[in-house]
A and B are shown apart, each in its own frame.
Chain A
Amino acid sequence: MNARIKYSVLLIGVGIILAFLPFNASLSFRLKPSELLAKLVADESYFSVDQVARFLNNEDSTGQLIDVRSTGQFKECNIPGSINIPFSDFTNPLWEGYLNQKEMKNIYYGNDGQTASYAWAIATGLGYGNNFVMKGGLNEWFKTVMLSQFSGEKITPLENARFENRLNARKVFTQVNSLPDSLKTKYFNAKRLIESKLDGGCE
């Protein structure tokens, strides 16, 4: 029997095996269950609202805030600079470029902690790196940052720094969310321009 027939039989056999395999064109987790559980238990996947406030005040580009709420809720108010990837649309290939990258930390937030935690588990399970959750979500943000007040006679330098950080973040949050959508980008450009002037930079 010549080689051509052998190869033909081999190819037909492989074809038959492939034909009976369950074809799964959809996304499924790449990590093993034990690997995902280890990441879950490690408890290193959280950012506090104070840390996020610092990101906002410093316009830190090492982190990317991802709002997983619906578009309607996002439009009502959001943490300035965040992008909206509704959880219901999380697996849309359109978002893969944002989610599956190694340059920035993805910090997920929702109204509380539940939806952002689903997003964390799915992104991590899919093998995307750098996933974090803003602990407590927007409810914690409002409670700690937006409504923070200092009561007392003395303030330590540490408390003062924390309070100032919250105050600045609150200011940016209120200003940006009070603007119409069309002016939000303009706000950040204007802010950068002012900062560059203060730093002695060129216009």
Chain B
Amino acid sequence: MNQIKSLTIVVLILVALLILVIVRSSDKNLFKKEVRTAIEATQNNSNTISLDQLKKQTRSWIVVNLGSEDLPDFLHSENSIHLPVENILDQTNRKILGEAKGDLILYSNDEAMAAKTWVILNQLGFENVFILNTGSNPEVLKYKFQPDTTARLEQDSM
């Protein structure tokens, strides 16, 4: 019994340590996923969806309008919510996103904004989040570089 009593301080230290570990690992205000998962999810644009694909999709979905403007006419549907990007991490909005049934389709007329928001949501552990591409594939170079066949080093011409 005496031996157990003398171990009280040690046990208290261990309990405090355990509480700290539990608090830290259950903190929702921290990113917990590996960065690699975001990079892998973007390969072959598998995290984007075109308008045609969306129209044909049989799974349920909800468009999340991140911008300050209204959704374009072709996107008006009952399946949409307006969550301005600056408020997307508010507790209420996070709850809405977490409880949404089906895929979350991010829309913004600023594609960079949608891409950055996608990374944040992905790293927070939200599954089935996609970026809506309303045009053609944005990551294709639309121009062809025409080399100058007469180009040579200026030094050579001196």
* Residue positions of A touching B, CB distance < 8 A: 1, 6, 9-10, 13-14, 17, 21-22, 24, 26-29, 31-34, 36-37, 40-41, 46, 73, 76-77, 87-88, 90-91, 110-118, 120-122, 125-126, 133, 135, 138-139, 142-143, 146-147, 174-175, 177-179, 183, 186-187, 190-191, 193-194
Question: Across the interface, which residues of B come within 8 angstroms of A87, CB to CB?
Answer: 39, 42
**Those of B82-126 within 8 Å (CB) of chain A:** 85-86, 88-89, 111-113, 115-120, 123-124
CA distance A37 to B142 in the complex (A): 31
CA distance A1 to B11 in the complex (A): 14
Asked if B111 contacts A114 (CB within 8 A), the reply is yes
Known: A111-B139, A111-B141. A28 touches B35 (CB 8 A): yes
Nearest A residue to B124, CB-CB:
A33
Question: Across the interface, which residues of B come within 8 angstroms of A113, CB to CB?
Answer: 111-112, 115, 138
Asked if B120 contacts A33 (CB within 8 A), the reply is yes
CA distance A34 to B88 in the complex (A): 10
Asked if B147 contacts A177 (CB within 8 A), the reply is yes
Q: How far is the CB of B8 from chain A (nearest CB, A)?
A: 10
* Residue positions of B touching A, CB distance < 8 A: 2-3, 6-7, 9-11, 13-14, 17-18, 21, 25, 29-36, 38-39, 42-43, 48, 85-86, 88-89, 111-113, 115-120, 123-124, 131, 138-143, 145-149, 151-155
Q: A24-B34, A37-B88 are in contact. List 12 more A-B contacts (CB 8 A).
A: A6-B7, A13-B10, A28-B123, A33-B29, A33-B120, A33-B123, A37-B120, A91-B35, A120-B116, A138-B141, A142-B142, A186-B155
**Which of the residues B17, B85, B118, B151 comes within 8 Å of A178, measured between beta carbons?**
B151
Asked if B115 contacts A117 (CB within 8 A), the reply is yes
Q: How far is the CB of A32 from chain B (nearest CB, A)?
A: 6
**Which of the residues B2, B6, B43, B48 comes within 8 Å of A6, measured between beta carbons?**
B6
Asked if B124 contacts A114 (CB within 8 A), the reply is no
- A contact patch SS: helix
Asked if A21 contacts B138 (CB within 8 A), the reply is no
Question: Across the interface, which residues of B come within 8 angstroms of A121, CB to CB?
Answer: 115-116, 119-120
Nearest B residue to A112, CB-CB:
B138
A-B pairs with beta carbons under 8 Å apart, 7 shown = A1-B7, A33-B123, A34-B29, A91-B36, A111-B140, A118-B116, A177-B147
What 10 pairs between A and B have smallest CB-CB spacing? Answer: A178-B151, A29-B31, A121-B119, A117-B115, A190-B155, A142-B143, A77-B145, A178-B147, A13-B14, A112-B138
CA distance A178 to B86 in the complex (A): 44
CA distance A125 to B123 in the complex (A): 10
Asked if B42 contacts A115 (CB within 8 A), the reply is yes
Q: How far is the CB of B17 from chain A (nearest CB, A)?
A: 6
Question: Across the interface, which residues of A come within 8 angstroms of B88, CB to CB?
Answer: 37
Question: Across the interface, which residues of A come within 8 angstroms of B119, CB to CB?
Answer: 117-118, 121-122, 125
Asked if A41 contacts B141 (CB within 8 A), the reply is no
Asked if B112 contacts A117 (CB within 8 A), the reply is yes
Nearest B residue to A46, CB-CB:
B112
Nearest B residue to A25, CB-CB:
B34
Nearest B residue to A142, CB-CB:
B143
Question: Across the interface, which residues of A come within 8 angstroms of B18, CB to CB?
Answer: 17
Asked if A21 contacts B142 (CB within 8 A), the reply is no
CA distance A90 to B42 in the complex (A): 12
Asked if A29 contacts B35 (CB within 8 A), the reply is yes
Asked if B148 contacts A175 (CB within 8 A), the reply is yes
